[in-house]
Structure 1
Amino acid sequence: MAALLILGGLLLILSGLVWLVMRAFATSLLWGWTSLLPPLALLYVLQHWRSARQAVGLSALGLIPLIVGLTLLASQDSQRLEAILSLQWLKTEAQSPADLAIELRGELHGQPFTPQQGELIGGVLSLREGGDFFARREIVIRLVEPVDGVVRLDVLPDDVGPLPEVEVSWLLPEQDLPEARRLARGYTLHLNLTPLPPNKLAGDFHLVLPAKFKTTLSGKVELFSDGLRYHEGKVDRHVDSADTLAFIIKDYLQRRFVSRRVQLNELPPFTLPANSIELQIEAMIGGQLQKLPVLLNKSEADGWIVQGDRFAALPDITDTPAPDLSQAPNSTAEEQSRERVRRPLDRRLRFSLEALLRNPSRYQNLAMRVSTVRGSNAEGRFQGVDQDGRIVIRQRLSGQGAASYNLIPEEVSRIELLEP
């Protein structure tokens, strides 16, 4: 109803303006051309009111349904009204970034699927369409184990044993939360990805789900293999990601201690986005464990930097001593430590409320149990964090029903992750 009132009002206003121009041309050719410019059309109205008053009255009449329609829309859907008034509908749809060449043909849930983002990190492949908090459409494939290097995988509907888990989700215009479906088997999947320096995987992607899911995709994809982003061949320090901060801290330690033998341990928890982050880090430097405080600041010009970093770049050749057998155990220990860092852990082991708020996408659609300080409990699947910072838990009821719980983090006394 609101849309019809707004459209009707605009049509009446436009009709009045066209009628006004016609009256101006009927008066004289000069007035006709002059009235095509809105400021000068007002001059014609003042000079020839008797001729222009009917056209002006029609345009004024159109203001009534326009104002009523906008008022109704504001009461029903204020966000939609804000989007209309801000002219967001004039902006072109975001296309795939120039640094990701994704050429997929097919559909997801019966709709064309054109992802703008793709990554394969920690054994989880994701293709995402839309830049909002909840993706408009998304495919997530959780591999059986992490991969390093070339990825070749073929799955057929009749295959048994440990198989990757496929999850598809979509967000309809009238929905606040996306719908998701998971499959453990019964699908067709083909991956043939090869590393593409500095941090990408590129190759063939082919996925066919059972007919009821209306999802068939085939083509070429490019995926990021970590959280780093590059600009003109260098790491973009403006990107908010854990990998960006780890890269900056490692580079800082290498230059500070004039050694390339720096192995940074996992960073402590922190929250992004932010303008300043203080961390207590641990790193193996020259075979010795060091614990150091670092303060990172972000500026528009330089991006993320370590405060007090005035150390010069490393020379071209450093840390090339002759082989020393006594250092072999230390090297082996460093390699084992590196492997432990790369090996994915059960997400339940380090799960906490802080970890959930810091990286909610990592726990999307996983089963959780939440207890509040008031003694109430909620159990269901995690749907994300809304714009007000509330934790959204969705619980399926009997039949086709579902219930959503929006929980303020300050009221949560205990939260448990029920699956890895």
Structure 2
Amino acid sequence: MDALLILGGVLLILCGLVWLVMRAFSTSLLWGWGSLIPPLTLFYVLRHWRKARSPLGLSGLGFIPLIVGLTLLANQDAQRLQALLSLQWLQAEVPPPAELAIDLQGELYGRPFQPQQGELIDGVLSLREGRDFFAQSELTIRLPQPQPGAVRLDVLPADEGQLPEVEISWLLPEQDLPEARRLSRGYTLHLNLQPLAPNKLVGDFHLLLPAQFKTSLSGNLELYTNGLRYKGDAVDRHFDSADTLAYVIHDYLQRRFATRQVRLDKLPVPRLPAKQLDLSVRAEIEGEWQELPLLLKKTDNRGWWVEADHFPPLPAAVQPVLATAVTPARNETVERSSRPLDRRLRFSLDALLRSPNRYQNLTMRVQTERGNSAEGRFQGIEADGRILLRQRLSGQGEISYRLRPEEVVRIELLEP
């Protein structure tokens, strides 16, 4: 409403000024050209008041909705009004600097590919273009033998054996869900990535898929190796990721118990973004495992922090290192009954995230916040917490869906 009032008032003022100039030209050509100069316009109004009063009245009426609209805007959003009056909207928008130095030449399925996000975590190399729920284009390479440190790999079309799995996906403007293609041999791949402190890999990349996939990429990559982000030498606690939460909790437990002998168990998959998280954390402190309920909060000043954290730094403190989560292998209890087990009973998103192995390879249907739906067989929870579904097409090939838990509004299990 405030925008309509402001726009209507400005239009009335402009119409009045145009009408005034037209009256000046009807008086004489000299007065017409002179009225385009503000000081001479005032002289024309004083000299020919009878002709000028109607256009001035129309312009004066425009100030009424203009002032009312600005008042409403000031009450509802003072910062927006300040930006409007300071004419910031006239300045060209400067794109934010890229987080990663990714320089790739080529195309992905016949389309230009310029990824803004890249990571290599738990042996999965991912390059994404676009920041929406579904990427505009995405390249995923699953390495068969993930290893820390430098990564060097060369694959030729004639190679056999256990090779990386390559998957490409893209989203066309007229589509609600992306299409995907996957292959495990018959391509050319070159990776030569070297570690770059504190948590990056940089190096050469080359990928050439068979002709029908219309994909050829070559250039330099810079990838994150975990979910931490840094500001200078310090971890950015404002970034939403499971690794950031683990870092904050690990640092908190070290200072709370005044020891560096702290090792975290794997954290439950958090629902991010969020402003507050209530977690039950399992940690080994000086050789003894403990269950600790923690309330994490996120503020603009501190980022993520643990409530009631008033503990001082450790003496001669060294930058805390994110402990590797070690989870002992546990065999899930298998229910035996004379009748088949119906897993649809008490099925929910929380139950799926808590016990993903219980629903492995079962068909389910998911609906997202945007109204999109995906159906396929559940393949597990990926390292970044995404739910992986795969649907086999009627011909050759299959479609993969990677869904973030926080985007899921409804999930339904379709078979017992």
TM range (shorter): 0.5 to 0.7
Q: Report the TM-score when normalising by structure 1.
A: 0.63
Q: Which residue of 2 aligns with 1:369?
A: 363
Residues 200 and 223 of structure 1 are in contact (CA less than 8 Å); yes or no, is this contact kept in structure 2?
A: yes
1:387 aligned to 364, 369, 375, which one? 369
Q: What do residues 25-75 of structure 1 show as CA deviations (whole Å, max 9, x unaligned)?
A: 7662223356xx9xxxxxx9x84999xxxxxxxxxxxxxxxxxxxxxxxxx
The residue correspondences of 1:350-369 to structure 2 (distance < 5 A) are 354=349, 369=363
Pair 1:111 & 2:115 matched:
no
Q: CA 1:201 to 1:356, structure 2 compared with 1: closer, same or farther past 3 Å?
A: farther
Residues 137 and 170 of structure 1 are in contact (CA less than 8 Å); yes or no, is this contact kept in structure 2?
A: yes
How many Å separate the matches in 2 of 1:21 and 1:178? Answer: 57
Q: Which residue of 1 aligns with 2:342?
A: none
Counterpart residue identity of residue 354, structure 1: L
Q: Secondary structure at the match of 1:28?
A: helix
Pair 1:303 & 2:311 matched:
no
How many Å separate the matches in 2 of 1:403 and 1:115? Answer: 21
Residues 296 and 305 of structure 1 are in contact (CA less than 8 Å); yes or no, is this contact kept in structure 2?
A: yes
Q: CA 1:277 to 1:230, structure 2 compared with 1: closer, same or farther past 3 Å?
A: same
Rg: which structure is higher? 2
Deviation at 1:208, TM superposition (A): 0.8
Q: Which residue of 2 aligns with 1:28?
A: 32
Counterpart residue identity of residue 275, structure 1: K
Q: Secondary structure at the match of 2:220?
A: strand
How many Å separate the matches in 1 of 2:180 and 2:328? Answer: 29
How many Å separate the matches in 2 of 1:269 and 1:193? Answer: 29
Deviation at 1:164, TM superposition (A): 0.7
Q: Which residue of 2 aligns with 1:120?
A: 120
Q: CA 1:251 to 1:403, structure 2 compared with 1: closer, same or farther past 3 Å?
A: closer
Q: Which residue of 2 aligns with 1:231?
A: 231
Q: What do residues 129-171 of structure 1 show as CA deviations (whole Å, max 9, x unaligned)?
A: 1111111111011111322111111111111111111111111
Identity %: 50
Q: What do residues 96-144 of structure 1 show as CA deviations (whole Å, max 9, x unaligned)?
A: 62x3111111111222211110000111100111111111111011111
Q: Which residue of 2 aligns with 1:169?
A: 169
Counterpart residue identity of residue 194, structure 1: Q
Deviation at 1:280, TM superposition (A): 1.3
The residue correspondences of 1:269-308 to structure 2 (distance < 5 A) are 269-308=269-308
Residues 391 and 408 of structure 1 are in contact (CA less than 8 Å); yes or no, is this contact kept in structure 2?
A: no
Counterpart residue identity of residue 368, structure 2: D
How many Å separate the matches in 1 of 2:133 and 2:52? Answer: 55
Residues 153 and 192 of structure 1 are in contact (CA less than 8 Å); yes or no, is this contact kept in structure 2?
A: yes
Q: Secondary structure at the match of 2:223?
A: strand
Q: CA 1:356 to 1:393, structure 2 compared with 1: closer, same or farther past 3 Å?
A: farther
Instruction: Pick 1 or 2: higher relative contact order, CA cutoff 8 A, min separation 6.
Output: 2
Q: Secondary structure at the match of 2:34?
A: helix
Pair 1:186 & 2:186 matched:
yes
Which is worse superposed, 243-252 or 173-182?
173-182
Which is worse superposed, 273-282 or 134-143?
273-282
Residues 96 and 115 of structure 1 are in contact (CA less than 8 Å); yes or no, is this contact kept in structure 2?
A: no
Q: Secondary structure at the match of 1:145?
A: coil
Deviation at 1:185, TM superposition (A): 0.8
Q: Report the TM-score when normalising by structure 2.
A: 0.63
Q: What do residues 197-243 of structure 1 show as CA deviations (whole Å, max 9, x unaligned)?
A: 11111111111111221211111111000001111321111111110
Deviation at 1:386, TM superposition (A): 2.7
Residues 134 and 171 of structure 1 are in contact (CA less than 8 Å); yes or no, is this contact kept in structure 2?
A: yes
How many Å separate the matches in 2 of 1:226 and 1:205? Answer: 20
Residues 119 and 127 of structure 2 are in contact (CA less than 8 Å); yes or no, is this contact kept in structure 1?
A: yes
How many Å separate the matches in 1 of 2:112 and 2:328? Answer: 35
Deviation at 1:285, TM superposition (A): 1.1
Q: Secondary structure at the match of 1:32?
A: coil
In structure 1, runs of 5+ residues without a counterpart are 1-15, 38-43, 51-87, 319-336, 344-351, 371-377
Residues 149 and 194 of structure 1 are in contact (CA less than 8 Å); yes or no, is this contact kept in structure 2?
A: yes
Q: Secondary structure at the match of 1:175?
A: coil
